């Protein structure tokens, strides 16, 4: 039984029940009052006055007709009213069907009255948007990871062939470097996967102490945040290493009020917010490293409920600010 039919029957049942209560009330009144014999104003018309039993019989028959009409009105009107109320569910159901078939670009964009159905449709649109972004990022990540892993492995295979033929020590050295790069890239991918699947164990951690343990000085005020010590240490290490690899001059690190700030000079970066995308290194796809450092920082920050901001410096360089919740 569909929701529309259930609503229709419910409307009709309530309407008939209300009419029945009115009919019973009328019948009780007529049955009880007046408590004296009915007479005509003119004694000569006394024969035309109905008896109490006839009046009650008429009330019952009239009530039956009225209740039948109310039932018909309740069914017809209830069916139309239920269809009008439930119409937005058709749009939501169609969007769910398209999403199940793989189309995540469809949006409901329900217009009209602001009620529970519109709130549901808006939330469904938001969910589809998040899913679309997630699947797009996953596909881009898989493509980039395949490319990044294929390159050093292909180079390694070529070097092996040449080294076997010529016994070239320089080729062997380069082969060792290339192999180390492939290992480093694999380890970086595993760390990123661990951060995506982590269920962090939160405890009070001093960000300033983590920075000191990394061998860096700066304006390090005691900054207690609630988080996973290992993940936060990885975050600090990645930010400092990223600043050292891509920046020029001194790296300035400061901590205060649940905030970690890392600043360094360097080349101008037109769209620094894109640096959190996996495998994006410095200016477009150039630069050293694997392009996973800031991607891992972004994921760790998200796990801890914080916010990551990347701002360009005047004259070049980057300012990275991580703000953690004051309380967890």
- Residue 111 domain-assigned? no
- Residue 268 lies inside a defined structural domain of this protein: yes
CATH number at residue 278: 3.30.565.10
Domain end call among 103, 131, 158: 103
Instruction: Express each pLDDT in 61-102 by its tens digit.
Output: 888 888 888 888 888 888 888 888 778 888 888 888 888 777
Q: Which domain holds residue 95?
A: 3-103
91 Cα distance to chain centroid: 20
| Residues 185, 130 share a domain | yes
> What does the DSSP assignment read for 109-145?
---SS-SHHHHHHHHHHHHHHHHHHHHHHHHHHHHHH
* 291, 283 Cβ separation under 8 angstroms: no
Q: In CATH, what number is assigned to the domain containing residue 141? A: 1.10.287
pLDDT exceeds 50 at position 287: no
Do residues 81 and 134 share a domain?
no
Q: Which of 131, 177, 148, 104 is nearest to 295 (CA)?
A: 148
Question: Do residues 145 and 208 both lie within one domain?
Answer: no
Single out the residue in 133, 163, 197 at which a domain terminates.
197
> Is residue 24 domain-resident?
yes
For residue 251, the Cα-to-chain-centroid distance in whole angstroms is 36
Whether 252 has a pLDDT exceeding 60, the answer reads yes
For 157-201, write each residue's pLDDT tens digit: 777 777 767 666 777 777 777 676 676 666 655 655 555 545 556
**pLDDT, the chain, mean:** 77
For residue 207, tell me if it sits in a domain.
yes
Min mean pLDDT across 236-250, 270-284, 292-306 is at: 270-284
Q: Are residues 281 and 317 in the same domain?
A: yes
The answer to whether residue 110 sits within a structural domain is: no
**322 pLDDT higher than 90:** yes
If pLDDT is split at 50, 70 and 90, which confidence band does 125 have?
confident
pLDDT for res 315: 77
pLDDT digits (tens, 9 = 90+) for 33-72: 666 566 655 665 555 556 677 777 888 888 888 888 888 8
Give 240-249 pLDDT, tens digit per residue: 888 888 777 7
User: Is there a single domain that holds both residue 249 and residue 315?
Assistant: yes
Say yes or no: 126 and 166 in one domain: yes
Which pLDDT score is estimated for 284?
A: 43
Tell me, yes or no, whether 209 and 192 share the same domain: no
Is residue 70 included in any domain, yes or no? yes
> Which single residue is written with the structure tokens 């209300």?
18
Query: Do residue 296 and residue 219 come from a single domain?
Result: yes
Look at 279 and 87; give whichever has higher pLDDT: 87
Answer whether residue 130 is part of any domain. yes
Q: pLDDT tens digits for 199-223? A: 556 788 898 998 888 888 888 888 8
47 in a structural domain: yes
- Is residue 285 predicted with pLDDT exceeding 50? no
| Nearest-angstrom CA–CA distance, 103 and 101 | 6
Number of separate domains in the chain:
3
Q: Are 229 and 139 in the same domain? A: no
Among the candidates 37, 72, 103, a domain finishes at: 103
> Are residues 224 and 280 located together in one domain of the fold?
yes
pTM exceeds 0.75 for this model:
no
Q: Are residues 246 and 318 in the same domain?
A: yes
């Amino acid at each position: 039984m569909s929701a529309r039919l259930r609503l229709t029957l419910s409307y009709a049942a309530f309407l008939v029940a209300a009419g029945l209560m009115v009919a019973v009330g009328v019948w009780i009144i007529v049955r009880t009052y007046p408590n004296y014999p009915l007479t005509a104003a003119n004694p000569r018309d006394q024969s035309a006055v109905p008896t109490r039993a006839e009046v009650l019989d008429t009330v019952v028959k009239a009530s039956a007709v009225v209740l039948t009409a109310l039932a018909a009105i309740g069914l017809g009107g209830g069916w139309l009213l239920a269809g009008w109320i439930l119409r937005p569910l058709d749009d939501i159901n169609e969007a769910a069907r398209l999403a199940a078939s793989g189309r995540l670009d469809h949006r409901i964009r329900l217009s009209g009255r602001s009620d529970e159905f519109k709130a549901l449709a808006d939330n469904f649109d938001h969910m589809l948007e998040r899913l679309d972004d997630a699947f797009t990022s996953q596909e881009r990540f898989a493509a980039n990871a395949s490319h990044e892993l294929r390159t050093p492995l292909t180079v390694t295979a070529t070097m092996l062939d040449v080294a076997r033929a010529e016994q070239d020590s320089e080729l062997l050295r380069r082969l060792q470097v290339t192999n180390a790069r492939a290992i480093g890239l694999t380890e970086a991918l595993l760390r990123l996967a661990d951060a995506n699947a982590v269920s962090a164990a939160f405890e009070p951690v001093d960000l300033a102490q983590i920075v000191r343990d990394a061998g860096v000085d700066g304006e390090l005020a005691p900054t207690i945040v609630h988080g996973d010590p290992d993940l936060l240490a990885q975050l600090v290490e990645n930010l400092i290493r990223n600043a050292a690899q891509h920046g020029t001059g001194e790296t300035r690190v400061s901590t205060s009020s649940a905030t970690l700030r890392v600043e360094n000079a360097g080349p101008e970066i037109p769209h620094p917010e894109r640096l959190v995308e996996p495998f994006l290194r410095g200016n477009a796809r150039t630069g050293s490293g694997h392009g996973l450092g800031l991607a891992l920082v972004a994921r760790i920050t998200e796990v801890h409920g914080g916010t990551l901001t990347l701002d360009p410096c005047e004259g070049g360089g980057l300012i990275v600010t991580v703000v953690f919740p004051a309380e967890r």
